[in-house]
Amino acid sequence: MKIDIDDLHVAYAGRTVVAGAHLIAAAGEITGLVGPNGSGKSTLLRTVYRHLRPVAGRVLLDGTDIRTMPARQSARHIAALPQERDSDFELTVREVVAMGRTPYKRGFAGEDATDRDIVARALRDVGMDGYAGRRFTALSGGERQRALLARAFTQQPDVLVLDEPTNHLDIRHQIELLALLRTQRRTTLVSLHDLNAAASVCDRLHVLHAGTVVASGPPREVLTPELMAEVFGVRAAVVGHPLTGDPLIAFDHRGP
């Protein structure tokens, strides 16, 4: 399924922070959202997973405005790893992950064998099968992150919305998570601060600056030294990655 963000405006207490954003997350592609702090990435993603209501504009799922869909229905299509991380669950990891099955359940219907298989597979996919019985609150930041990603997987969504999914993850788990997203080939809309990771994993990138999309396209077209200077205010060269050939942004850490 495809997500179409059409002239989206979002405000907090009357202050507009997303101001007419347009972008498409194409079916089966990984679409990256990058931009400086405060540019509106999380806000835009929150409207896609219906945590926020736009002031104007629409989020379309295969042409249907998601606000016209019952919440249960959109939760079967769109799952999120939000930035506001629920951390007060007095539940086991397995129970937290199984919460992703809720949109498929009626009333107090319990788990069936299919649910159990889906939960077990999601735990395996994020490398957390050994943690199923642990208390969620007793996990490290990176382990919580992986458990919440498994919860999103158990929703079996057509669209995954991930806000900074590599936060808290060590380098191996960052690489594993991004590789997992690539093998799944689900429609994925992901915000990333690590521009080199974004360049390697995303099919297309959208650069957000002060609430609007200022550049869109394949990473090698978008991530230019000029854009680094104008949007991020840093000096950088873009070279070919010696192992993969992907664009590799070499930042000048000595100063802007």
Contacts with ligand ATP, residue ranges (CB under 6 A) = 12, 17, 35, 37-43
Spatial distance between the Cα atoms of 217 and 135, rounded to a whole number of angstroms: 42
Tell me how far apart the alpha carbons of residues 63 and 24 are, in angstroms, rounded to a whole number. 11
Considering the complex, state which of residue 42 and residue 187 has its C-beta at the smaller distance from ligand ATP.
42
**Nearer to ligand ATP (CB atom), residue 85 or residue 135:** 85
Closest CB to ligand ATP among 3 and 207?
Answer: 207
Whole-angstrom distance, CA of residue 148 vs CA of residue 154: 10
199 neighbors 118 (Cβ within 8 angstroms): no
Distance CA(212)–CA(19), nearest Å, equals 6
Nearest approach in angstroms of CB 12 to ligand ATP is 3
Cβ proximity to ligand ATP: between 97 and 190 the closer is 190
The number of residues making up the chain comes to: 256
Query: Residue 226 Cβ, how far from ligand ATP at the closest point, in Å?
Result: 21
| Minimum separation from the CB atom of position 41 to ligand ATP (A) | 4
Residues 6+ apart with CB under 8 A from 255: 235
User: Taking the complex as a whole, how short is the minimal distance between the CB of residue 141 and ligand ATP, in angstroms?
Assistant: 16
CB of 175 to ligand ATP, least distance (A): 21
Q: By the 8 A CB rule, do 67 and 47 touch?
A: no
12 or 108: CB nearest ligand ATP: 12
